[in-house]
Amino acid sequence: GATPEDLARVRPLLEAMGKESIHCGGPGTGMSVKLINNLLAMTILAADLEALAIGVRAGIKPEVLLRVLCATYADNKPLHTLLPEKILQGDHAPGFKAVLAHKDVGLALEFAASLRVPLWTLSPARQLLSLVLAQGKGEQANTVIATVFEKILGTRFNEWK
């Protein structure tokens, strides 16, 4: 977010940095949208992992489950990227670090609370991140939350190929 004048001044930098720049409104709105996006993205990833855990426990091959989910209303970006390229490979090398995801989700929860917006389905994502931070895995990618499910299942997702 920015005033129209400030946006005009920095637009060349924004265009050089990324594919698309969306003006969200006045000062502070861009940060609000970033927090909302990161909270929702982590929640979607956590839901995807829960679905994967059910499938693995039911004996469904992850690749089959992903093909079906990607062809339905359940489709979402992590099903095409993070699950097949990172989680099913057992790769939690730093990308978007869990410690930063934990911070952003916490800030988003505080932001929602300040607006008196209850979050019944989005809050548990932070609890998963808190678990991996407590295990000393905060410097790994946010996909490391998969290890929480793997521990419960007693197997690694990448062993179910």
Read off φ and ψ for residue 73, nearest 5 degrees: -65, -15
Catalytic member of 19, 34, 103, 161: 34
Q: Which residues contact 130 (CB under 8 A, 6 or more apart)?
A: 102
As a whole number of angstroms, the distance between CA 91 and CA 141 comes to 9
Which residue stretches of 27-160 are H helix? 29-57, 62-70, 77-80, 82-85, 98-114, 124-134, 146-153
Residue the block writes with tokens 């008196």? 116
Catalytic residue list contains 34: yes
Catalytic residues: 34
